[in-house]
Structures are given as C-alpha cells and as structure tokens.
Chains A and B, each alone.
Chain A
Amino acid sequence: MNLSVQLGKLTLQNPVMVASGTFGYGVEYSQLLDLNQLGAVVVKGIRLGPVRGNSTPRTVEVASGLINAIGLQGPGVDGFIKKYWPFLKELKVPTIINIWGTTVDEYAEVARRFDALGGVGALELNVSCPNIKEGGSQFGTDVKLLSQVVAACRTATTLPLITKMSPNVVSIAPYAKAAEDAGSDALAVTNSYPAMAIDIETRRPKLANITGGLTGPCIKPIAIKLVWEAAQAVKIPIIGMGGIQNAADAIEFMMAGATAVAVGTANFYEPQTALQVIAGVREFMQRKKIQDVRELVGTVEVGD
C-alpha cells in the first residue's frame, strides 16, 4: 500500500500534515505523539523580526468551531532558528515553515533566510491571515499582489513553495491560477474565515481584536467546496484543510481534489487526531482495496 505523495519536489511519507498555528513548533507536542509518523510538521507563521501578537482575549469557542485572533505572535527568523530549529532539524519528517511579511520584499527576505538555513522541507506563504492589518490577507485577496509575493519568493529560493489561500474571495480560481503561474508548487486551501462573536451581557466583542478567523469542523463544508473549485483551476497539488477531525473528513478533502491534508483546530482538543487520520485512511484503503492513496485524489463524481 502506498501512502506517499509529492508536493513539488517534496516527498511526504503520508498525506497527513498539521496546520500552521495549531502545532506550535512541534516540540510542544513531542511528549504526546511521535512527530515522525506525520506527513510533515508545519510551524507557526514567522516573519523577519519578533512579533508580540494581539491583546487578549485571543480565542473564543463557538458552536463546532473556534474564532482566533492571535496576531501571529512569534520569535522572528533568528529567534526561531536559535530556539526551535535544533529540535526540528533532527526530525525524520519534513518541516514546512510558514512565512509572512508586511511587504513583498520581506516575504522574499524571509524566504532567502530559510533557503540559506538548509534542511527546510518547504515554505508556506501565509497570504491569508485575517488578523494582521498589514501583510496577511491583503496579499491573498488581491490577484496582482499575490502574484508578486509568490514570484518574489520563487526568485529568492529553490525550496518548494506552498501558497496558503484565503477563503475570503468571490472565486478562488483566479487566485489559485495566479499562485500557480507565479511559481507556487502547491496550494494550501484554506486559511480561517473572517468571523466575530459578541457577549450579549456586556455588548462587547468576545475578542480583543473585535474580529478573528473561524476554524474547526463548522468550516469544513466551505473548505471542501474551495478545494474542489481550486482543483478545477490548477494542475499543482492542493493541501486541503478546514475542520478535519477524522479520516472520513480527510478522505472527503482528497476526493474533492486534495493531494494532502492538514489537521488544524482538532490538535487543540485532541493531539492524536493526525495519527488517527493516518490510521483511518489506511483502513479505508484496505476496505476499498485501494493500493495507492493518490487514487483517491479528485475522485468526486459530479457528472450525471
């Protein structure tokens, strides 16, 4: 049975990764699960310098979901390399580094720094964080800017590039195509959905940032549709994510057109989810007598 998949020149031993921002820098979960069983570890978004993040409250639980506005708190490139890279570089599975910036040049500079580091599996371009005023989703919701960011990073590095798409667009197809044309090796579909919650007793927003990004099982059907639409538009592989809790969810994403998947919010409440998904995909393949996991990709039947 083959579970391995390709994202550009990057080979994953299985198609199940974890989503950026839901798995810290890997080390935090290393006592609870064997990270080397994963397809890849994807770390929280990093820009050039350290980032303090938003005020609290930063997250709020809603029905079947979570709204977050963390504000990409992080140690910056140097802090990350000093504090977390010594652990990550010893992993047997690839580390994918999620990067962002407030200018096209900053994205490219961060890409260059990680290219020079050596041993990085791929870079994921975060052009879709809804909680950052400058940078983040402004790049993911403007086709021209998106192309510029991807192209600048393409020039800066030979590492595989994954563009993490915003769900907050009228049609994802032109954005997907723009990222592909500018040199992206894969797409991550999707980031969180802009959202808000209000405390009716105090009439105050439940998040200090007022609005945040909605994730968890409640966004899964939206994400499935976006993956399906993006898959029609591009030839590069898609990493599907949004509310995956079990193997059935992951298989649904693959049938919609995802070559790989990422477990996100579920890590917060059940750290074993990604490993359970891998086991469940294997069982499904046995039951359906499927030899290669790639046979599942894009097999939704929409015809008559």
Chain B
Amino acid sequence: MLNCQMLEQPVQIISNERDTDLYFRLVVRAPQIAPLVQPGQFAHIRVLPMKDALLRRPFSIYQVANDTFSILYKAVGKGTEMLARMRPGEELSVIAPLGHGFTVPQPGGETPLLVAGGYGMAAMYLLAQRSAQKGIVFVGGRRRVDILCEEEFRALGWDVRVTTEDGTHGEKGLVTQPLIAELKRNTTGRKLFACGPTPMLKAVGKIAEEFSVPAELSMDEHMCCGVGVCLTCVIPIKVGDGWEYQRTCTEGPVFDVRQIAWEVAK
C-alpha cells in the first residue's frame, strides 16, 4: 500500500544561508535519509523552537549530496521565519523522504521540459540531475529575486529560460509564454514536469491538454501530518466516471495531469 520508505530522525543543520531576498538554502546532515530520496519527494520538518505553532512544515527536497540533503524555502510565515533564524549545529526533526515523486526519464525516453514558478525550482533539481535526457527548464517569477538556482541547472547542462513578470530578468511575462512558443515549434517526444503555484499548474495542465503532451504536476496543498493520516491535503482525482479526494502527501505530490479533476478543484 505504501511504496516509499520513510524515516523520522533528528538532523543537524550544516548551513542555513540567505539566497536572494527572503529565500534561504538549508543543508542538513541526514546520512540515512539522503540515499532514499527520489526526485519530487519532500521532507516534513519540525522546527523545534516553535512552541505554539505545532505542525511540521513540508519542503521539497532540493539537492542530495553524500550524507546531506537541502531545501530551498521562502521566509513567509511563522515556521519559515523561525527556521531562517536557526544556525548551523542546531537540530531539526525530520520525517523523510515522503510522497510519490516524478517519473525520471529513462534512456531513449521522452525529452523533459521542466516548468517552475518561484521556489517550485527546488522540486526540479534532482529530476534534472537524474534524467537520462537533458531538456529545457522554464523558470518564472514576479521579480529577479524570485528566480532561484538558475546557474545550478545550467551547470547540469540544461537550457534555462527565464521569465519575470516585471521584466527585471530574462523575458518579460509569464513562464507559460516561452513554454507555448517551444511547444509550437515541436511537441514530439516531449513531456512536461511542473512545480509552482496552483494557477501556474492549472495553466500548464491546460497547455499539456491543448498540445497533447504528457505532463506530471507537483501539486501544492496545505499539509498537516504529511504521512497520509489526517486527510488535510486532499485534491479531487478522477476515478472511473467520478472523482474522489486523494492525498497530496501520499498519492502525490506528483500526479499525472490527466488524473486531476480541475472542474471540481477550487
């Protein structure tokens, strides 16, 4: 019934540094967890100094190196603001790796086109690194500071196409514009993989349908337990002629675009 092996462990912070603006990169030592991580999976982190905010916070696992893994996060709420104040040597409690991730392109398989909005890029790095074929990364954000880890993807040999809504970096506009232009040129053997805010995912889903290309979307829903018991993070998924609520933390976060019942989703 469960296809992922998860561990709950205390982990030590190795580094926790500001990237751009309100974005941070956190690296933790987790020798047993790191080798288990698959692209698109997440870590459920308890920020131990937080006393009145009880819940763990879910983060896509960004990179895995030797006995460490890292996350990219934006300090925007109680949990992430407290996390941003934590220092190397301090401890966090982690349950990971969790969730059903991306299908990694195999040799001779499809060419991946990755679509990321803001820190959605974090969920994409391992996929780009482990994919048998290199492809194109479309990354978008509001402003220049919202474009993360662009150089890391270039270093993997990927073609990175940047858009910002205010035009301060890359092409001006939405991330879906260069994606549409690229699909108009060629759709053969291509597959979309996306992570970002829900409106972006919905737009990517529509594009996948219009151009008849396969797509996997990493869905963003509020989570509570992260392991499938509380049924907080559900989204409507097509089953037979109807639909049912399935868990983003367990059946997801990555779903095939054809599974999602957008007409029911808010």
A interface residues (Cβ-Cβ under 8 A, vs B)? 21-24, 27-29, 31-32, 44, 52-53, 55-59, 61, 63-66, 68, 70, 73, 83, 87, 216-217, 265-272
Contact = CB atoms under 8 A, between A and B. Distances in A.
A271 B95 contact: yes
10 contacts: A22-B229, A27-B2, A31-B7, A32-B7, A32-B95, A53-B234, A56-B235, A61-B55, A63-B53, A268-B230
B140 to A, nearest CB: 24
Given A68-B230, A70-B230, A267-B225, A32 B6 contact: yes
Interface in B197-237: 221-222, 224-225, 227-235
Interface of B: 1-2, 5-8, 46, 51-56, 93, 95, 221-222, 224-225, 227-235, 244-245, 250, 266
Given A32-B8, A73-B245, A271-B8, A64 B52 contact: yes
A31 B5 contact: yes
A56 B221 contact: yes
Contacts of A268: 54-56, 224-225, 229-230
Contacts of B235: 56
Smallest CB-CB A-B distances: 4 pairs: A24-B229, A268-B225, A59-B232, A28-B228
Q: Which residue among A32, A53, A55, A58 has the maximum number of chain B CB atoms within 10 Å of its CB?
A: A58
A272 B93 CA distance: 12
Given A23-B229, A31-B6, A269-B46, A216 B54 contact: yes
A58 B229 contact: no
Given A57-B222, A59-B232, A265 B245 contact: no
A66 B231 contact: no
A70 B2 contact: no
B230 A56 contact: no
A55 B266 contact: yes
Nearest to B222: A57
Contacts of A53: 231, 234, 245
Nearest to A208: B266
B2 A58 contact: no
Contacts of A29: 227, 229
Contact of A66 (B51, B54, B229): B54
A22 B230 contact: yes
Contacts of A272: 8
A178 to B, nearest CB: 31
A32 to B, nearest CB: 5
B222 A65 contact: no
A274 to B, nearest CB: 13
B232 A70 contact: yes
Nearest to A55: B266
A21 to B, nearest CB: 8
B88 to A, nearest CB: 24
A279 B233 CA distance: 32
A73 B234 contact: yes
Nearest to A60: B222
Q: Which residue among A32, A267, A269, A271 has the maximum number of chain B CB atoms within 10 Å of its CB?
A: A269
B245 A24 contact: no
A70 B231 contact: yes
Contacts of B54: 61, 64-66, 216-217, 265-266, 268-269
Given A269-B56, A271-B95, 4 more contacts: A56-B221, A58-B231, A70-B232, A216-B54
Nearest to B242: A52
Contacts of A61: 53-55, 224
Nearest to B235: A56
Q: Which residue among A55, A61, A68, A272 has the maximum number of chain B CB atoms within 10 Å of its CB?
A: A61
B70 to A, nearest CB: 22
Given A32-B95, A52-B244, A265-B54, A59 B227 contact: no
A23 B230 CA distance: 7
A58 B52 contact: no
Nearest to A50: B244
Contacts of B232: 56-59, 68, 70
Contacts of A73: 231, 234, 245
Q: Which residue among B52, B221, B266 has the maximum number of chain A CB atoms within 10 Å of its CB?
A: B52
Contacts of A68: 230, 232
Contacts of B225: 267-269
Contacts of B266: 55-56
Given A28-B2, A265-B54, A56 B229 contact: no
Contacts of A23: 229
A270 B2 contact: no
A58 B234 contact: yes
A56 B222 contact: yes
Contacts of A271: 8, 95, 227
A272 B154 CA distance: 42
